[in-house]
Amino acid sequence: QQQVKQSPQSLIVQKGGIPIINCAYENTAFDYFPWYQQFPGKGPALLIAIRPDVSEKKEGRFTISFNKSAKQFSLHIMDSQPGDSATYFCAASMYSSNTGKLIFGQGTTLQVKP
């Protein structure tokens, strides 16, 4: 049972475009939603994260939008650059549990063309 569904599977944008990656979760106990970025030959690394007490969080060119009632959250990359080309994973877990495991989405491969 896939608890976090991510779309699209792949995405191609031109430099300067705003790619949007969407995730939906099922478990209402989830209250911590990070995004990880993975470059080829590397392990994933934390990019940005949000908790449900806010509807949006911005760090540099990366923004998470969160819709608690719809159980959805999305990543927006403003003014995308070729260096942003990578695979992006959304994830979810329970913040208050020290045994909470991260449940990852299926991943989105982003290509930003020069």
Using only C-alpha atoms, the chain has a radius of gyration, in whole angstroms, of 14
Q: CA-CA distance, 106 to 108, in Å (whole number)?
A: 7
Interface residue with other proteins, options 13, 57, 95, 111 (CB under 8 A): 95
* Pick 42 or 68: Cβ nearer other proteins: 42
* 7/79 with CB nearer other proteins: 7
DSSP state of 32: B
Beta strands 108-113 and 10-14 are parallel
CA 101 – CA 114 distance, rounded (Å): 37
Nearer to other proteins, 58 or 79 (CB): 58
Residues 63-92, mask of contacts with other proteins (x by CB under 8 A):
------------------------x-x---
Among the listed residues 12, 18, 29, 46, the single contact to other proteins using CB under 8 A: 46
Q: Which two tokens stand for residue 56?
A: 């949006």
Residue owning tokens 């699209």: 8
Tell me which residues touch other proteins (CB under 8 A). 9, 32, 34, 36, 38, 41-46, 49, 87, 89, 93, 95-102, 104, 106-107, 109
